[in-house]
Amino acid sequence: MNWTEILDALEAGTIRAANKVDGVWKANTDVKAGILEAFKAGELKEFSDEHWHGFVDKHNLSPRHFKPEDRVRMVPGGSSVRRGSHIASGVIIMPPAYVNVGAFVDEGTMVDSHALVGSCAQIGKNVHLSAGVQIGGVLEPIGLAPVVIEDGAFIGSGSVIVEGKQVLKEAVIAPGVVLSKGVPIYDCVNERMLSADEPIPERAIVVPGSRPVNDKLAWAKEMGLTLNCALIVKYRDEKSEASLELESFLR
């Protein structure tokens, strides 16, 4: 497939920038290479239609437009969905929000105001990306799996998820949590520390935390300074389910 066919197939959802193989999310390197080829082939163009007047980007990566039959609610007010991204039926995009090339946003997901879905990020069904959420994209290196948010996950306001971190089904990320390869994650329920490449487990509830600095930073330790971390404090139960039901009324 050439880069044009790859972008078309990405929009249709017939191919993806990452796939789950034997329970593990892996990058589709052919797709990511095709996206990079599209960037190389693109030439700068000023978009002058009524929707995008005055914007400049690669001529072959123009913003997408939606029609009522697409069953996508893209609310007016400054959002943009770039060419080569898949937006499934029932998705709601509140302004301003941005979905980058290669991203996959599945059915019934809410992309709230000031949320970013980065290039090649994979967002599952019925996910809630709250206001100000930043989902990083991983286009390069092409062999690295992108950020993945699986079905039914709830990502709280202002959370940042980058560097290919993965959040499994129905997990809840509290407001302000930062997840990256360099931020330790402690499972306080099962009394263990997750490895850097380990995903957030299904139905885990994750909150911001802090940890003391180590002995190598003696002055910081003496001053009582702490470093960022994330804590799994419980797993979803009936009480937490009830607190997440409100979003269904927005559909």
**Predicted local confidence at residue 245, as pLDDT:** 59
- What pLDDT score does 249 carry? 47
**What is the C-alpha separation between 213 and 229, in angstroms, rounded?**
11
Give the domains, in start order, of the chain with CATH numbers.
3-183 (2.160.10.10)
Helix axes 29-41, 3-12, angle to 10 degrees: 120
What does each C-alpha distance from 75 to 8, 21, 80, 91, 94 come to in angstroms? 24, 35, 10, 11, 5
| Closest to 96 (Cα-Cα) out of 112, 119, 120, 118 | 112
Query: What is the C-alpha separation between 5 and 14, in angstroms, rounded?
Result: 11
Distance between CA atoms of 114 and 157, rounded to whole angstroms? 10
Whole-model pTM? Answer: 0.92
Q: In the beta sheet, which residues pair with residue 234?
A: 205
* Type of residue found at 179: L
Question: Averaged in consecutive runs of 10 residues, what is the pLDDT profile of the chain (251 residues)?
Answer: 97 97 94 97 86 85 94 94 97 98 98 98 98 94 94 98 97 97 96 96 97 89 93 87 56 50
